[in-house]
Amino acid sequence: MFLDVQMPGLDGFGVIDAVGVESMPLVVFASAYDQYTLKAFDAHAFDYLLKPIDEERFRRALARVRKAVNSGSSRAVSLRNLLATRPAERRYLQRVVVRSAGRVILLKAPDIDWLEGSGNYVTLHVGRSTYLLRESLTALERKLDPDQFVRSHRSAIVNVERIRELGPWSGGEQALILHDGTRLAIGRVFRARLENFLSNTVD
């Protein structure tokens, strides 16, 4: 896979995060970064191309890829090291990649209404559609922007832009009511954190 380091919406690092290091093919980065950053790429990425890309350099990179594929080379460890060198501001997902019925679907993180966890799977609720992702809710929570998504229950994370109000739940408990009418229970462990979060978002 040839990836640009900087792309609108989802950068090269974000693609690796979304797909998962273990599922990534061999990666060649295209970069206009300075010499220091290129040294990090040289140490951890399979290969990189400095923009503007020279045709002969591209051919050499492609030849290396073909040779590695034929030899069964794996670069999972190097990709993990590369992710560790990236700037901190790149750590939150901007898109989530979902595989469904042979398709690869890119979902923008802000479009997700809420996330429902069950074991090692997460159901993404986007409007009237749902998408199943094989990942634990806790692992996915670490990748989401904490200013945009908040944990409301051990099995639920909510996009704060979708919250309409706090309302009553059975047994005197409170619930989150989303703009589409969805009602979600608020876990006791998360209540104080959620209420504090919501109070800090009021203009």
Residue-wise pLDDT for 2-13, tens only, equals: 877 766 566 677
pLDDT at 79 over 60: no
Rounded Cα distance, 97 and 106, in Å: 5
- DSSP lists the bridge partners of residue 28 as 2, 47
Q: Would you state the pLDDT for residue 45?
A: 62
Identify the sign of the CA torsion 76, 78, 84, 89: negative
Backbone angles phi, psi at 197, to 5 degrees: -60, -45
- DSSP lists the bridge partners of residue 157 as 115, 151
Residue 184: pLDDT band (50, 70, 90) is very high
Instruction: Centre a 10 Å sphere on the Cβ of residue 45 and count the other Cβ atoms it contains.
Output: 23
pLDDT digits (tens, 9 = 90+) for 96-155: 888 878 888 999 999 999 999 999 999 999 999 999 999 999 889 888 888 889 999 999
Domains of the chain from N-terminus onward: 2-90 (3.40.50.2300), 95-200 (2.40.50.1020)
pLDDT at 70 over 80: no
Q: Would you state the pLDDT for residue 166?
A: 85
